[in-house]
Amino acid sequence: MSQTPDSASAGARTRIDKWLWAARFFKTRSLATQAVDGGKVRLNGERIKPAKEVKAGDTVVARIGEREIEVAVLAVADKRGSAAIAQTLYAESADSVARREAQRDQRQLVQDPAASISGGRPTKRDRRQLGRLHD
């Protein structure tokens, strides 16, 4: 028996915190509720409360850690299913994908440049050789 999103019935709605949890943006429903209460989630450009209902066609902007994700709601589900099912609940905007990739590229550039050039932290042997050079 396969699970499908509950959007088969026209006008299906569910709470935003349940949807964020079912779509696997947050590991627990309480984390999703805290994010909504903290103003990190916007529905159609407006700050909302956890009980606000979401329906297909809405736009959700969620700030998760350093990332900001903008998605269009394609389907509604209030039960958490597999990751494959969760991916059918939303479509990420092209602008959001571009921002996420730019952030990833930026993080790769910023990560410890010495490690990529010299091979990382000096070993005991390297430190001894450096000591001999200084003496």
Residue 114: predicted pLDDT: 52
Joined tokens for residue 125: 């042997």
Mean pLDDT confidence for 13-24: 95
List pLDDT tens digits, range 76-120: 998 999 999 999 999 999 999 999 898 888 887 776 555 555 567
Residues contacting residue 125 through CB under 8 Å, at least 6 positions apart: none
List pLDDT tens digits, range 43-62: 999 999 999 999 999 999 99
- Tell me how far CA of residue 119 lies from CA of 68, 71, 109, 126, 129, in angstroms: 33, 40, 16, 11, 16
Residue 131: predicted pLDDT: 87
Residue 80 has, within 13 A of its CA and on its CB side, a CA count of 12
Residue 113: predicted pLDDT: 54
Instruction: Say which residue, 32 or 67, is predicted with more confidence.
Output: 32
Share of the chain above pLDDT 70, in %: 86
Options 3.10.290.10, 3.30.1450.10, 2.40.100.10, 3.50.50.60; which CATH number does 6-134 get? 3.10.290.10
Instruction: Say which residue, 17 or 131, is predicted with more confidence.
Output: 17
Residues contacting residue 120 through CB under 8 Å, at least 6 positions apart: 112, 114
Question: What's the predicted TM-score (pTM) here?
Answer: 0.73
Q: Which amino acid is at 38?
A: G
Joined tokens for residue 32: 């999703």
